[in-house]
Structure 1
Amino acid sequence: MEVQRASASMLKEEKLPSPKKKASAGLFCSGIAFTVVIAAMGFAFSRVPGFDHVGPLACAIVIAVIYRQFFGYPEALRSGIQFSAKRLLRFAIILYGLKLNIDTVLHQGLPLLVRDMGVIGFAILTTVWLGKVLKAEPSLTLLLGVGTGVCGAAAIASVSPILKANDEDTAIGVGIIALVGTVFSVAYTLLRPFLPISAIHYGIWSGISLHEIAHVALAGAPAGQDALAIALLAKLGRVLLLIPLCFILIFWMNRKNSGNSSGTRIEFPWFLLGFILMSLFGSYCLGHSISVSQGVMDGVSNLTTFILTSAMVGLGLNVSLRDLRAKALRPLIAMLITSIVLSVVTLFVA
């Protein structure tokens, strides 16, 4: 009997989680909560006049970078922070697919899609070429080229696993693209009254040349609803082209690694399938067979942005200001030159 009791007692002890596992689980959850809190601070700052045009992504990354410089990386919370930076990032990209209405782009935006293809090719190739001329850091330069050509932070976050970019480059790239895109969108609104173009022309120009959907909305809104609608349609075409671009980059990276004996093949980014499925669901189910209010869609959009912001906090904590100026200045110059040339050229072909 005593043997049976002892064995039963041992079984109970085995089933009970150890204090070490409890502690690690607690630190894991605390790490996720840490990124969520800073993301909430980023959202709060983005509502302050002066910061409202910058957006929560850039605000949260700046807060995370400042925290890292003053307090160091919170090593005890690393597992939860890395979960936000990796897993939550992919989940946010999947949800981001709901922002893309494939049906609208294919039925109304095909002429714009051709121009979008030219914009993406020009932005990436020109930025990479300028980066080589300036001897800029290649990985960050390529990320900025993709962000400039496609859809800003979401594009950078989508291609960084494919390009094997480190977390620091990804965070720096997202921060730069958010800040520069904001400056350009504000400049567009200031220039609009002096440009000899129609509101529709201005909307197309904004949609095919500005960096993120938020930047396009910011610049397009003052020109009226029609201009804003065509601007967002042009931008959605660039978001749609993110899908084939990712497959091209996978092929390119595998070809590049095949010539290197130590290189490994790029794993397929399965979250991209989620992005495609959510795009199809949002395009052909929501509003058709499934009725959803605009309020719900706005809530999902805000949730997506918040999750993406939490993920960016995890990336921002990897940024060292000591190396930032030396590493980011030349890629920033390459991206700025590309953005300026792109804006001038597309003004005449929009």
Structure 2
Amino acid sequence: MQNVQSNPGPQKQPSPLIKWLGGIAFTFLIALLGYLLAMVPGFSRVGQMACAIVLAVLYRQFFGYPEVIRPGIAFSQKRLLRAAIILYGLKLNIDTVLSDGLGLLARDAIVIVFAIFVTIWLAKLFKADRSISLLLGIGTGVCGAAAIASVSPILKSKEKDTAIGVGIIALMGTVFAIVYTILRPILPLDSMDYGVWAGSTLHEVAHVALAGAPAGDSALAIALLAKLGRVFLLVPLCFILIAIMKRKSNSNEADGSKIEFPWFLVGFIIVSILGTYVIGPVIPVSSNVLDFVDSLTTWVLTAAMTGLGLNVSLSDLRSRALRPLAAMTVTSILLSVVFYFTV
């Protein structure tokens, strides 16, 4: 009598909810590993976000993209990213910028224009990828990863381009911040001028804090004020980019593409207004709560960047990132040198 083998049939797939929750949990797990790696001496200066992106890229190369939990990863890299940008609005004190930083604001506008146009020019000279270079120019001029994440949907950048840009800006911004701290004792600048220089030219808020703190509280305060002006200018820059992209879309209607209004920027503005005029002045909130929200913002942004990092392959980095990196590095050096002589 023959034994008849039973057909196991198709394997049961996880439910959509499990895929969604699993993907979100996975991005937060990589964010946690990035946080732990950032506690290791040496990696601490690179930061949690850059470490998490590197881990996500390495995971993709060795294990492939986790297709089963793609819905949750996609939610992190899109929805959580916008939520993080909205929460980032709490870092912007509008009243401080408008009352104390109007002079710095004009300087910041020149910095942004300089960084974007020089990066684009160098990208053409180096024959670098235009999309990544533009993101890096905006990140260099405004506020690093947050700026790149804000403009990428407006520019319709590919997710892997956004991830590459964020990784480069986080790494190089850290390098420049360390160089600034090394140069500070030998530069013929008083602490206030040094603070203006650092706040006007370094990439992320964290980089400004890293470089400004050794010069003292006053230098750090003016450095952060100069940096806040650049964050403030992110909003008008985004609306300028929207107008440019709509004009390009109208001139080429054949592609049928439309520019979606970035409603998360409205949330960013609302949260900034609440943080400036309501939370604190009207509704007392303890510093512990504000610190928690700040940490939450970092975690959510890191989880979102993890999702982006999973879309990056090392072949993309080799073939597309080196020349934009060179253009961004030269731009950052020129930015530091030129604006050093204007403080």
Fold equivalence (TM over 0.5) = yes
Specify the TM-score bucket, using the shorter chain as the normaliser: over 0.9
Who is 1:218 aligned against? 210
Q: CA RMSD in A?
A: 1.2
| TM-score, reference length from structure 2 | 0.95
Q: Deviations over 1:317-338 (max 9, x none)?
A: 0001012111001111110110
Who is 1:86 aligned against? 78
Distance in structure 1 (CA, Å) of the matches to 2:108 and 2:31 = 32
Who is 1:257 aligned against? 249
Q: Deviations over 1:2-57 (max 9, x none)?
A: xxxxxxxxxxxxxxxxx989722112111110001000111111111101111111
Q: Per the alignment, do residues 20 and 256 of structure 1 end up closer, same or farther by CA in structure 2, a change over 3 Å counting?
A: farther
Who is 2:325 aligned against? 332
Distance in structure 1 (CA, Å) of the matches to 2:228 and 2:39 = 25
Sequence identity (%): 65
Who is 2:3 aligned against? none
1:169 aligned to which of 156, 161, 174: 161
Q: SS where residue 127 of structure 1 aligns?
A: helix
Task: Indicate if the aligned counterparts of 1:258 and 1:264 stay in contact, CA closer than 8 A.
Answer: no
Q: SS where residue 255 of structure 2 aligns?
A: coil
Q: Deviations over 1:184-203 (max 9, x none)?
A: 00000000000001000000
Who is 2:280 aligned against? 287
Distance in structure 1 (CA, Å) of the matches to 2:108 and 2:124 = 24
Task: Give 1:265 shift.
Answer: 2.5
Task: Indicate if the aligned counterparts of 1:141 and 1:335 stay in contact, CA closer than 8 A.
Answer: yes
Q: Residue 208 of structure 1 aligns to which amino acid in structure 2?
A: S
Distance in structure 2 (CA, Å) of the matches to 1:86 and 1:135 = 30
Q: Residue 97 of structure 1 aligns to which amino acid in structure 2?
A: G
Equivalent residues in 2 for 1:1-350, closer than 5 Å: 23-260=15-252, 261-350=254-343
Q: Deviations over 1:253-277 (max 9, x none)?
A: 1111111121422110011100000
Q: After TM superposition, what 4+ stretches of structure 1 lie above 4 angstroms from structure 2?
A: 19-22
Q: SS where residue 231 of structure 2 aligns?
A: helix
Distance in structure 2 (CA, Å) of the matches to 1:223 and 1:156 = 29
Distance in structure 1 (CA, Å) of the matches to 2:90 and 2:13 = 37
Distance in structure 1 (CA, Å) of the matches to 2:331 and 2:95 = 31
Q: SS where residue 46 of structure 2 aligns?
A: coil
Distance in structure 1 (CA, Å) of the matches to 2:39 and 2:106 = 36
Q: SS where residue 326 of structure 1 aligns?
A: helix
Distance in structure 2 (CA, Å) of the matches to 1:58 and 1:101 = 26
Distance in structure 2 (CA, Å) of the matches to 1:194 and 1:152 = 27
